[in-house]
């Protein structure tokens, strides 16, 4: 796990000032909460006193987190120990008395964490998409992204949309991202995909080569936006993948099927994956992903050298 990567470990609405939230990046447990200013705080979910999870504790009125075991209390920004209630004395603790802290960045409805507390903050990215959800999937992070490239229907459903196996563009590199575009059909009765001349809709997927964070753009054949979504898969404990997502349905959609997308939930991110279908899923678009990732990493390195 690269130390300097920012992972979208929570949606903004999941992090509160009432109850600590436990999340993880790989095997690293993390506790999240909001302090009195509403700022998100992130510490290792492990009290340095006796290793209990801090997420079982509580958030005090001053925004500090108190371990539920023996009451040790930590400042969220620095991770420093600020109180041991039973000592009944105002005292300063030496600097080694601290819990590990992490970099935190909140933007566009996602809370992102970097294991390196000193990493430079990423750029803010736009506005908050109104629809959102979290799904936990028993599939390893890399496999999850490969399945997204090879057959998104195993991972997500878009209201009234059928993903076809035909691609408009295979996976390629565009501005440092892995990008592909897939032809789709409406789910209503229609001429079978292998005999279809032109498809009414297309799904573009643009994926970060490291985190797998993906922007999904669904358009009709007049290039009108139908749905925009961000999927943020994060590797979790025991190789499960936690997927936080946000989406927006375009307010103006033409045609009956497109209008019907507004009835009920337009996007669902599955919690369960059909293992039998996944097993026989032919690796296709994903085959080039690793080569492209290497190429992107090499060019980033090159740029760093020049800079």
Partner 1 sequence: MLETTENPATLANDDPITSDPRQFSAKVNAWMPHEIMLTDAWFPLAHSFAVDKKPVRRAVYSQPFYLWRSPDGEVLAAENHPNDPLADTKSEYTDESGHYPVLEKYGYVWGWLGKPENAASEHVPSIPYLPEDGGLPLHMLGTVRFDCCAPLSLENLIDLTHADFIHADVVGDEKMDSEKVEVFHDSETITMVRTCVNKSVAPIMKMFGGVRDDVQQVRQVIRIYLRSHAAIAYGRFSPGDNVQLFHPCVPETRDRTRLDYAMNTSNVKKSNLFRYMMPKASYKVSRQDSSMTSPQSPRYMRPEKRKDLHSPLDEAGQKYRVLMTELAERQARGDFAYRDDVSADCSDIIGYEKA
Residues within the interface to ligand FES (CB under 6 A)? 47, 49-50, 52, 67, 69-72
| Alpha carbon distance 22, 45 (integer Å) | 7
Residue 52 CB, shortest distance to ligand FES, in Å, is: 4
Query: Pick from 5, 67, 73: which is nearest to 232 by CA?
Result: 5
Query: Pick from 86, 81, 125, 118: which is nearest to 3 by CA?
Result: 118
Is 61 an interacting residue with respect to partner 1 (CB under 8 A)?
Answer: no
Is 166 an interacting residue with respect to partner 1 (CB under 8 A)?
Answer: no
From the list partner 1, ligand FES, none, partner contacted by residue 97 (C-beta under 5 to 8 A by kind):
partner 1
| Alpha carbon distance 115, 105 (integer Å) | 12
Helix (H, G, I), strand (E, B), or coil: what is residue 266? Answer: coil
Helices 141-150/289-306 angle, 10° precision: 110
Is 97 an interacting residue with respect to partner 1 (CB under 8 A)?
Answer: yes
Q: Is the Cβ of residue 100 or residue 268 nearer to partner 1 in the bound state? A: 100
Residue 72 CB, shortest distance to partner 1, in Å, is: 8
Q: Is the Cβ of residue 87 or residue 138 nearer to partner 1 in the bound state? A: 87
Q: Is the Cβ of residue 50 or residue 190 nearer to partner 1 in the bound state? A: 50
Query: Pick from 200, 149, 202: which is nearest to 172 by CA?
Result: 149
Instruction: Dump the DSSP string for 147-173.
Output: HHHH-GGGTEEETTEEEEEEEEEEEEE
From the list ligand FES, partner 1, none, partner contacted by residue 190 (C-beta under 5 to 8 A by kind):
none
Q: Is the Cβ of residue 88 or residue 118 nearer to partner 1 in the bound state? A: 88
| Alpha carbon distance 290, 296 (integer Å) | 10
Q: Is the Cβ of residue 66 or residue 164 nearer to partner 1 in the bound state? A: 66
From the list partner 1, ligand FES, none, partner contacted by residue 273 (C-beta under 5 to 8 A by kind):
none
Question: Considering only residues 5, 17, 56, 210, which one is a binding residue for partner 1 as defined by CB under 8 A?
Answer: 56
């Amino acid at each position: 796990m690269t130390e300097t990567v920012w992972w979208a470990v929570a949606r903004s609405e999941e992090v509160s000032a009432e109850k600590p939230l436990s999340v993880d990046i790989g095997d690293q447990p993390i506790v999240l909460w909001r302090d009195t200013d509403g700022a998100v705080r992130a510490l290792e979910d492990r009290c340095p006193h006796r290793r209990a999870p801090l997420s079982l504790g509580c958030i005090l009125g001053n925004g500090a987190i108190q371990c539920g075991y023996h009451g040790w209390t930590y400042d969220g920004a620095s991770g420093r120990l600020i109180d041991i209630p039973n000592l009944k004395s105002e005292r300063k603790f030496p600097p080694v008395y601290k819990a590990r802290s992490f970099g935190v960045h909140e933007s566009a409805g996602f809370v992102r964490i970097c294991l390196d507390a000193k990493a430079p903050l990423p750029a803010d990215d736009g506005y908050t998409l109104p629809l959102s959800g979290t799904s936990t999937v028993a599939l390893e992070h890399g496999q999850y992204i490969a399945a997204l490239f090879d057959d998104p229907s195993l991972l997500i459903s878009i209201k009234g949309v059928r993903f076809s196996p035909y691609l408009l563009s295979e996976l390629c590199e565009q501005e440092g991202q892995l990008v592909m575009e897939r032809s789709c059909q409406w789910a209503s009765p229609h001429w079978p995909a292998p005999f279809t001349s032109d498809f009414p809709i297309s799904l573009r997927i643009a994926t970060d080569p490291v985190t797998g964070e993906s922007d999904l753009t669904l358009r009709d054949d007049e290039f009108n936006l139908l749905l925009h979504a961000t999927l943020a898969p994060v590797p979790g404990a025991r190789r499960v993948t936690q997927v936080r997502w946000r989406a927006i349905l375009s307010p103006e959609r033409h045609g009956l099927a497109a209008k019907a997308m507004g009835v009920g939930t337009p996007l669902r991110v599955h919690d369960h994956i059909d293992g039998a279908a996944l097993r026989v899923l032919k690796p296709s678009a994903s085959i080039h992903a690793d080569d492209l990732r290497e190429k992107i990493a090499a060019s980033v390195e090159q740029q760093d050298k020049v800079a």
